[in-house]
Amino acid sequence: MKCLEKGLVAWLTGLPGSGKTTIAGRVAERLRAEGYRVELIDGDWARKTVSVGSGFTREERMNHLRRIAWITRLLARNGVVVLASFVSPYRDARKMIREIVEEEALFLEVYVKASLETVIRRDPKGLYKKALAGEIKHMTGIDDPYESPENPWLVIDTDKASVEESVNLLYSRLKTILNELPVVCEG
């Protein structure tokens, strides 16, 4: 086990279906195999646990993401590498998240970029189909905006990169930073 003095939060943002959780999950597995304490937090888990009943209006999303930001901050300040996978569609929401986390830990914004055409084609949960049929409201990319990051730490373009290439890119960039963080115990 590698105990970091302080962890970090890698916040993966992008359209639903862009590959955020898939990439984060595989990177988490690799880091755990190396002995790091890692937590993967994604929107589905959060809405079933700490944000039950939270809706998708702008205000509801902001409140939901504020809760998650505090959770990631607490984990990271205690030496955990946090991979957070959330659509987090608004720049001001991501700014708020960054401000909360950076008071005590490193925050890395990762833009998992995919075109609307690609995510509609992938549509792993059938959400775009329902949104296009008018069955659900506030769907990011359809009737709610996605404001792409202006200056992310890393961009992963899943229109061009395979899942494995995407995982390798995030993993290698994270390892560069993790290798520089103070370790308080190993073994």
Supply the residues annotated as catalytic: 88
Query: What distance in Å separates the CA atoms of residue 113 and residue 146, rounded to the nearest whole number?
Result: 11
Name the phi and psi angles at 38, rounded to 5. -130, 135
CA dihedral 148, 154, 160, 163 (to 10 degrees): -110
